């Protein structure tokens, strides 16, 4: 075994080394979207959704006062979100 093989760092999980340049690269084999549940998420988690940013507290308060969400479109009823949440349905869900 040569000296280079003994000092070579292990590859990060899921990474591959380009043989010509020696640089690391990641190969994406599938794209998954993380869905945020309106009925179980914290205000901080809801604030991570771009279309809901800054409204997590209001969403949680609405949920605590009125009960669980039955449909994503109920975001329209949350104070301050009327007309602003469109597009969030790609990232948020409700538990059935």
For residue 6, being part of any structural domain is answered with no
Residue 61: inside a domain: yes
Q: Is residue 88 part of a domain?
A: yes
Nearest to 85 by CA among 36, 52, 39: 52
Reported as a single tens digit per residue, the pLDDT across 6-43 is 444 444 445 555 555 656 555 545 445 578 899 999 99
User: Up-side HSE of residue 67: CA atoms within 13 Å toward CB?
Assistant: 2
Number of domains in the chain: 1
The boundaries of the domain holding residue 73 are 36-93
At residue 61, does pLDDT exceed 90? Answer: yes
pLDDT-derived band at 85 (thresholds 50, 70, 90) equals confident
Q: How confident is the model at residue 3 (pLDDT cuts 50, 70, 90)?
A: very low
Q: Which of 15-29, 35-49, 51-65, 82-96 has the lowest mean pLDDT?
A: 15-29
Which residue's entry shows tokens 């640089």? 23
Does this model's pTM top 0.85? My answer is no
pLDDT for 6 equals 41
Helix (H) or strand (E) holding 36: strand 36-37
52 has a pLDDT exceeding 60:
yes
């Amino acid at each position: 075994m040569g000296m280079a093989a003994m000092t070579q760092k292990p590859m990060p999980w899921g990474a591959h080394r380009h043989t010509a340049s020696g640089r690391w690269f990641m190969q994406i084999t599938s794209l998954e979207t993380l869905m945020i549940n309106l009925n179980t998420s914290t205000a901080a988690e809801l604030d991570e959704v771009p279309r809901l940013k800054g409204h997590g507290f209001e969403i949680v308060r609405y949920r605590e006062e009125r009960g669980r969400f039955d449909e994503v479109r109920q975001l329209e009823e949350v104070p301050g979100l009327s007309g602003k949440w469109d597009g969030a349905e790609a990232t948020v869900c409700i538990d059935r």
